Structure 1
């Protein structure tokens, strides 16, 4: 297992790749791409991602895996943890838009991800304002 400093450095590299780059299905800048990049950076070997060019294409690809949603997919790849136990670089799932929930990366007291209200800004720091903002979390 990586120590916290290694997790921080590797997470910063992933964040740098996605920061200031708007959300884009065709540009491969989605929370699914972010999650896969983070898994690889922290030493996991997730399956290859299909070429996702739209929300509909992503739904079809997810259905083809036999998983009901992103939560089920991540459960099949990573150990689930309590959100309160997240370390820097772990993944969490938050309420998303109509098509999908949002995968975010833990970064101390906040998380990093694409925010539906401002997808053009790219990856942003999100400070949860509700008591239980996370649907699930996974250790990387």
Structure 2
């Protein structure tokens, strides 16, 4: 399977699992979606070691148990390669502005769009962010 085919298969699997599921801290949130996506690409993500959480504060505490204070810190810590957002390819990880103290990550969908959560929609949607703060290659 080529790298692009691997990226496409991982996005398809992630969207199939999360597309119609409503946001819920600790079950269906940006960290869980990104972790599932990365596992589909062969990463060993130990998010289960963070323990359960059901709120923003709980998410921050869970992340701290893993030794990180933000999702961006965790992306660096698990070995994702930082890239300029202009070099993103399908399935790469992007950090955007959000209201969570741990940060907000999304999956790159192509053409400047991201798959992520928005307060005005119950499940994953395609977003056109005003700005991408950071980006990481998944392959």
TM-score (norm 2): 0.87
Identify if the C-alpha distance between structure 1 residues 91 and 85 changes in structure 2 by more than 3 Å, giving closer, same or farther. Answer: same
DSSP-derived class of the 1:9 partner: helix
Query: What displacement does 1:52 show?
Result: 2.2
Native 8 Å contact 1:102 1:114 kept in 2: no
Query: What displacement does 1:100 show?
Result: 3.7
DSSP-derived class of the 2:95 partner: strand
Q: Using the alignment, how far apart are the partners of 2:53 and 2:121 within structure 1?
A: 17
Query: What displacement does 1:118 show?
Result: 1.8
Q: Does 1:92 align with 2:94?
A: yes
Q: Does 1:7 align with 2:7?
A: yes
Q: Does 1:126 align with 2:117?
A: no
Aligned to 1:102: 104
Query: What displacement does 1:119 show?
Result: 4.3
Query: What displacement does 1:98 show?
Result: 4.4
Query: What displacement does 1:65 show?
Result: 2.6
TM-score (norm 1): 0.86
Q: Trace 1:1-140 onto structure 2 (pairs within 5 A).
A: 2-25=2-25, 28-49=27-48, 50-77=51-78, 78-109=80-111, 110-115=113-118, 117-120=119-122, 122-128=123-129, 130=130, 133-140=131-138
Name stretches of at least 5 consecutive residues in structure 1 with no aligned partner: none
Aligned-CA RMSD value: 1.7
**CA deviation map 1:19-77 (0-9, x unaligned):** 12110125x00000001001001111112332222221111112223323111111111
Query: What displacement does 1:99 show?
Result: 3.2
Larger mean CA deviation between 61-70 and 87-96 belongs to 61-70
